[in-house]
Amino acid sequence: MALSIGTIKEIKGLVIAKGMQGEERVLKVGDTLFLRIRYVPLEQTRK
């Protein structure tokens, strides 16, 4: 089982959680953060 390291209290913009098996999900306030998951903030505008 993954180790919980915290909970999102505030978020600005989009942040994607990328799991070890390649799965992705968009994070929202209240989501739990886990050890060994990659968190990637996405830019608001792309050039």
Enclosing domain of residue 12: 4-42
Domain-embedded: residue 47:
no
Give exposure, 11-47, as e/b (b: 16+ Cβ within 10 Å).
Answer: eeeebebeeeeeeeeebeeeeeeeeebeeeeeeeeee
The count of structural domains within the chain is 1
pLDDT at 43: 73
Domain-embedded: residue 33:
yes
User: How do residues 1-47 score in pLDDT, each as one tens digit?
Assistant: 679 999 999 998 999 999 989 899 999 999 999 999 999 999 754 55
What is the widest separation between alpha-carbon atoms in the chain? 39
Domain-embedded: residue 35:
yes
